[in-house]
Amino acid sequence: MDTLVHADWGVAPTKRWAATAERTGAGWEMVSLAPLGSGPSFSECLGIDGRATTLVGVDFPLGVPAAWADRAQVSSFPELVAGLGSGRWAGFSDVAGTSDEISLERPFYPHRAGPRGTVRRAHLTDALGLTWDQLHRRCEQPAADQRAACPLFWTLGANQVGKGALAGWALLRSEDPDRAAVWPFHGTLPELVSGPASVVLAETYPADGYGLLGLSPVQGKRRNEVRRRAGGALLAAADRLSVRIDGRLRTEIATGLGDDAAGEDRFDAVVGLLVLAAVASGSVPTGEPRADPAVTSVEGWILGRSATTRPRRA
């Protein structure tokens, strides 16, 4: 593995930033923090040329809930993504605008908020024949220090992830299958980064990074002053992980990564990059419960998240 890239992924292209580090004799060196480029695949958006093995962290779901997959007779997330846009899955990425448009083949809802009371969670659960809890993947279940995540298929609210996932999956579908692998579906992380793939994609959650890096939780990171106060701790974590950050990039982190609306995205890109470095060094385990077949076939896992606190619910 020669390069680490963490892409903070927003629905809007202006909210997509990537932090990149390259391997050196002494560890890693952060070499860039820049907006994602354009192109039909991750490799092109990130400028990956395929001559080196790159571990790419993305903060949107790489997987679908096992209960939905069972009802929809989906046995492989990579195969599902490869088939999107054609045949049975021709309308999968079209977010349903009304409750009567929801189906197993079109499970994302709603397209937009409506008048009070006209858009309800029950529309989604009733149409799919699943409970609200069954719409969560195992890695999204609540733990002692975290609430349950927003289910993938519910696309309303500030914490929704479904629309971003659909945009990301479109890029994933365009990757060359001979040069791209997705963890944990195609193998363990050590197997993948030492294998033939030049791009290895893994799901991350930057908010997990604070605990994984030994940092205090960061509340209100949309404000520069909050990010500035956290900057010193981020740089100290980088030093502990042998991630060299010098010059302009070090100054940017220390001063809060700008005053514009994308500052929080740059912040999360840096946090995610350090999580990748921590996993790559072995100081943070990958965390996936490989004995759970749903995780390695359809649901996936969030890199570094502990499985012991998240048993699968019935």
Looking at residue 314, its pLDDT comes to 57
CA 38 to chain centre: 19
Helix (H), strand (E) at residue 265: helix 263-281
Looking at residue 151, its pLDDT comes to 95
The rounded distance, in Å, linking the Cα atoms of 92 and 166 is 9
pTM of the model: 0.94
What the block records as the tokens of 289 is 């419960």
Looking at residue 61, its pLDDT comes to 96
Looking at residue 1, its pLDDT comes to 78
Q: Return the beta strands (E) in 16-92 as ranges.
A: 17-24, 27-35, 54-58
The rounded distance, in Å, linking the Cα atoms of 169 and 163 is 10
Looking at residue 200, its pLDDT comes to 95
Mean pLDDT for back-to-back runs of 10 residues, the chain (314 residues): 89 86 94 90 82 89 98 97 96 95 97 83 97 95 81 91 93 89 97 93 92 87 94 95 96 95 94 96 94 97 89 68
The rounded distance, in Å, linking the Cα atoms of 17 and 98 is 33
The rounded distance, in Å, linking the Cα atoms of 312 and 133 is 10
Looking at residue 59, its pLDDT comes to 92
The rounded distance, in Å, linking the Cα atoms of 164 and 43 is 18
> ∠212-217-221 over CA atoms, to 5°?
115
